């Protein structure tokens, strides 16, 4: 079993620019009031329960300093041509390539996802940097014909200013990069409040980026970080200096952020909860569907917003699917996420374990039948056995998102339309999937009257997304879109321009106004 001894942790963190204070680490803000006492947060690895670090939390005075630093950097950054901004992002991507292995290992040790997923998260950051570099030469506006003679109309996009980014623990760096790298090439500056549960990976990224900015004689305020509790997030949501707040997390958190930002008529980009389903029809490739279901349900120990939480299976193949899943779940390799053979790592903390246990108790009280898993493992770290529960879609617990590896097995007996109705009958609308070789079923699922989710896949699971497509969902998922496609537009303000190159002043709609 691979473990990280204190010396190995020290070497890994110091490689990423985080200085050690034996046996743990203290990092934080090097400015702000020295008379005010800051609280600290102890950071423990969910993999073995060991303390990794003590992190000083920011005060409101620290937040004010961060915002002032970002405001000072904005005029410098927005004046740089977009392709030049893209060059800086390219260098950030190269730096992330250099540190991929230690940063991926830190993601794994601090958050608990298996090492392959940790490396994949860093690769996702690299990929979005590559995407943003190309985007820096494609911030297109439209040209349109004017109804007035000798006039030209067009639209262009300008940066907003400061983009506030609130990220969640389950993807401690990747989702931030979706926002930050696109916002950067658009000419915005970013202030990042990472989850206080996973601050070290965020601090490591800040060190990597700060080095790139220094080498290019650019102010560090282009990318800023602030480690704090919910009060810091509230300050960001209330702050008129932050025209856009991008928040990833629970629906409860997103509603609070959206309400506060909305009161000041600011913009919010919300990526919130998911209650994602896979439909398996009688025309499915069952083995392919099973593989997708298992990864979607237990990957990251069920702590993805795109986790497969409901499996809607036609009665003709229901028993076959159930038997295969039970057999596979019995052989899942659960343990230290740094071991190459591990498929399921730990939950993030003891609170998440308690939530897992409580959810299983509640759904069984509603009538659900636990058919496998559900145990809390008696070992160091926050390990549980992923569970499968036969249930009904209307159960209260099935309607809610539980951030843990619980898969609800649901049966349908009629047409694919019935299965789609079951899938859509939840408050969330992030990711969805159907497994079928039948074109009618597939196209019905993708039609306007099909899946109501922001992501709809055919013969692909619900979990995981490529950076080229816009990521996000509807209903209580928040309606936001991040990453690829034309998501860049949310980080900019649109301006319509009309130029009169003639010698008269005609008015639109044929209005005459003679003086």
The residues assigned a catalytic role are 271, 305
The token pair at 133 is 């570099």
**Cβ–Cβ < 8 Å for 125, 174:** yes
- Which 8-state DSSP code applies to residue 38? P
Nearest-angstrom CA–CA distance, 221 and 87? 17
**Cβ–Cβ < 8 Å for 410, 312:** yes
Give the H/E segment covering residue 461: none
Nearest-angstrom CA–CA distance, 361 and 349? 19
What does 373-407 look like in DSSP terms, one character per residue?
A: --PBP-SSS--B--EEEE--TTSHHHHS--SSSEE
Region label for 161, one of left (φ > 0), alpha (ψ between -120 and 50) or beta (otherwise): left
Between the alpha carbon of residue 125 and those of residues 13, 43, 59, 93, 506, the distances in Å are: 19, 23, 29, 7, 51
Nearest-angstrom CA–CA distance, 163 and 239? 11
Nearest-angstrom CA–CA distance, 367 and 196? 37
Nearest-angstrom CA–CA distance, 374 and 6? 32
Q: Which residues contact 296 (CB under 8 A, 6 or more apart)?
A: 276, 278, 306, 307, 308, 433, 461, 462, 463
Region label for 381, one of left (φ > 0), alpha (ψ between -120 and 50) or beta (otherwise): left
**Alpha carbon 247 to chain centroid, angstroms:** 9
Nearest-angstrom CA–CA distance, 57 and 26? 11
In angstroms, the first-to-last Cα distance of the chain is 88
**Alpha carbon 250 to chain centroid, angstroms:** 11
DSSP alpha helix (H) spans, 39-81: 60-79
What does 88-121 look like in DSSP terms, one character per residue?
A: HHHHHHHHHHHTHHHHHHHHHHHH---HHHHHHH
Buried b (16+ CB within 10 A) or exposed e, 364-375: beeebebbbbbe
């Amino acid at each position: 079993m691979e473990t990280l001894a204190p010396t190995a942790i020290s070497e890994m963190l110091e490689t990423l620019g985080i200085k050690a204070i034996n046996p743990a680490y203290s990092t934080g803000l090097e400015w702000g009031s020295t008379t005010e006492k800051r609280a600290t947060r102890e950071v423990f690895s969910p993999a073995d329960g060991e303390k990794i670090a003590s992190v000083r939390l920011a005060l409101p005075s620290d937040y004010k300093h961060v915002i002032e630093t970002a405001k000072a950097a904005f005029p410098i950054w927005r004046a740089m041509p977009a392709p030049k901004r893209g060059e800086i992002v390219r260098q950030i991507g190269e730096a992330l390539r250099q540190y991929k292995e230690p940063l991926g290992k830190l993601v794994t040790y601090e958050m608990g996802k298996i090492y392959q997923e940790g490396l994949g998260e860093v690769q996702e950051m690299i990929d979005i940097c590559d995407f943003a570099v190309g985007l820096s030469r494609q911030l297109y506006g439209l040209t349109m014909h004017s109804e007035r003679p000798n006039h030209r109309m067009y639209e262009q996009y300008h940066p907003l200013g400061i983009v506030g980014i609130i990220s969640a623990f389950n993807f401690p760096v990747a989702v931030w990069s979706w926002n930050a790298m696109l916002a950067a090439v658009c000419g915005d500056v970013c202030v990042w409040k990472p989850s206080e549960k996973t601050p070290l990976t965020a601090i490591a990224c800040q060190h990597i980026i700060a080095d790139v900015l220094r080498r290019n004689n650019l102010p560090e305020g282009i990318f800023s970080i602030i480690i704090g509790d919910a009060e810091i997030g509230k300050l960001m949501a209330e702050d008129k200096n932050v025209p856009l707040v991008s928040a990833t997390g629970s629906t409860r958190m997103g509603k609070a952020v959206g309400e506060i930002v909305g009161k000041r008529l600011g913009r919010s980009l919300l990526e919130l909860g998911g209650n994602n389903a896979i439909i398996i029809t009688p025309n499915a490739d069952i083995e392919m569907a099973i593989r997708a279901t298992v990864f979607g349900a237990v990957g990251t120990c069920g702590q993805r917003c795109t986790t497969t939480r409901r499996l809607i299976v036609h009665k003709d193949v229901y028993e076959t699917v159930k038997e295969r899943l039970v057999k596979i779940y019995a052989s899942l390799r659960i343990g230290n996420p740094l071991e190459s053979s591990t498929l399921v790592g730990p939950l993030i903390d003891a609170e998440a374990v308690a939530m897992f246990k409580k959810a299983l108790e509640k759904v069984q009280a509603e009538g659900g039948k636990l058919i496998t898993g559900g145990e809390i493992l008696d070992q160091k770290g926050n390990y549980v056995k992923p569970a499968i529960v036969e249930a009904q879609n209307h159960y209260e617990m099935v309607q809610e998102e539980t951030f843990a590896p619980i898969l609800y097995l649901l049966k349908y007996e009629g047409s694919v339309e019935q299965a789609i109705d079951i899938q859509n009958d939840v408050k969330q609308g992030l990711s969805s999937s159907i497994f079928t070789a039948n074109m009618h079923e597939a196209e019905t699922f993708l039609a306007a009257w099909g899946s109501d989710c922001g992501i709809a896949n055919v013969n692909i699971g619900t979990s995981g997304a490529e950076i080229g497509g816009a990521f996000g969902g509807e209903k209580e998922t928040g309606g936001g879109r991040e990453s690829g496609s034309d998501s860049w537009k949310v980080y900019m303000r649109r301006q319509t321009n009309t130029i009169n190159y003639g010698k008269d002043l005609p008015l639109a709609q044929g209005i005459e106004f003679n003086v």
